[in-house]
Structure 1
Amino acid sequence: MQAVDDDKALGMKVMKLSRMLRLRFDRRVQPLGLTRAQWQTIACVRRRPGATQRQVAELLEVGEVTVGRSIDKLVEAGLVERRSDPADRRAHRIWLTPAIEPLIGELTRIGAAEEAAALAGFDAQEQALLHAMLDRITANLGGDAVEAVTCKPERR
């Protein structure tokens, strides 16, 4: 049986790249006083405004207590708010507040700079091809099912 070269395995490359991107972004947002859990929560609520805490936890693939702590800190900072769900007295929906707008702008700027760094040396055609190939891999692996459990905006 031939050994698998981890450096050539697609899953390992994608995992390594994902980790590198997250760690670089973490370092860049640290001066803003955000933890990874907080910026991921912000990103999720931005894409799914009005999601319940349970939905946010599911979308981020973490426990409700974990996401609850993140939301608590963001509420304390005035960046998100919990609103009662009129259809379910026990549930609260999570919304970004206007106070978060400058932070969203900075997170967006940092994200764009990190993407530019990652794609340095790729021309526009190569970037488009890379995105198309990644989309194709996603579709090959049942991307519709993945989209349903990620913080992508809901299709209307």
Structure 2
Amino acid sequence: MQAVDDDKALGMKVMKLSRMLRLRFDRRARALGLTRAQWQTIACVRRRPGATQRQVAELLEVGEVTVGRSIDKLVEAGLVERRPDPADRRAHRIWLTAAIDPVIDELTRIGAEEEEAAFAGFDAAEQALLHAMLGRITANLGGDAIDAVACRPDPD
């Protein structure tokens, strides 16, 4: 059996890159008083306003209790709110509040700066080519269907 060269395995490269991007973003988001779980929750609710806590947990691939703690902290900070679900009295839907706007602006700025750092030395054509190739890999693996389900607004 041939040894696997982790530096050449696509999955390992993508995993390492993803981890590096998250760690750098985490470090900077911490200055805003946000944990990774909190900024990921914010990003998820921004893409899926009105999602239930269960849906947010599924999209983030964590347990409901785990995401519930993040939501509790964000509610305490006034950045998100829980609203009763009119169709299910046991459920609450999660919404961003207006107080989140400056935080979103700052997270967006941080993301843009981190992307700029990641693409240092790449010209516009190289960046476009990389995005296109990653898009093709995503499509080859069925990711477009997953993204469509995860990011579409809830029909309720």
TM-score of Structure 1 vs Structure 2, range by shorter chain: over 0.9
The answer as to whether partners of 1:58 and 1:149 remain within 8 angstroms in 2 is no
Equivalent residues in 2 for 1:67-146, closer than 5 Å = 67-146=67-146
Secondary structure at the counterpart of residue 78 of structure 1: coil
Equivalent residues in 2 for 1:12-23, closer than 5 Å = 12-23=12-23
Q: 1: CA distance between counterparts of 2:120 and 2:111?
A: 14
The answer as to whether partners of 2:51 and 2:154 remain within 8 angstroms in 1 is no
Unaligned runs of 5+ in 1: none
TM-score, normalised relative to structure 1: 0.95
TM-score, normalised relative to structure 2: 0.95
The percentage of aligned residue pairs carrying the same residue is: 86
Q: 2: CA distance between counterparts of 1:139 and 1:116?
A: 25
Amino acid across the alignment from 2:80: V
Unaligned runs of 5+ in 2: none
Equivalent residues in 2 for 1:31-70, closer than 5 Å = 31-70=31-70
Q: 1: CA distance between counterparts of 2:86 and 2:138?
A: 36
Measure how far apart 1:154 and its partner are.
3.9
Q: Give a deviation string over 1:96-139, Cα, whole Å, max 9, x none.
A: 00001000000000000000000111111111100000000001
The answer as to whether partners of 2:85 and 2:91 remain within 8 angstroms in 1 is yes
How many residues of Structure 1 are paired with residues of Structure 2 in the alignment?
Answer: 155
Measure how far apart 1:26 and its partner are.
0.4
C-alpha change, 1:149 and 1:57, in structure 2 (3 Å) is farther
Amino acid across the alignment from 1:13: K
Amino acid across the alignment from 2:48: R
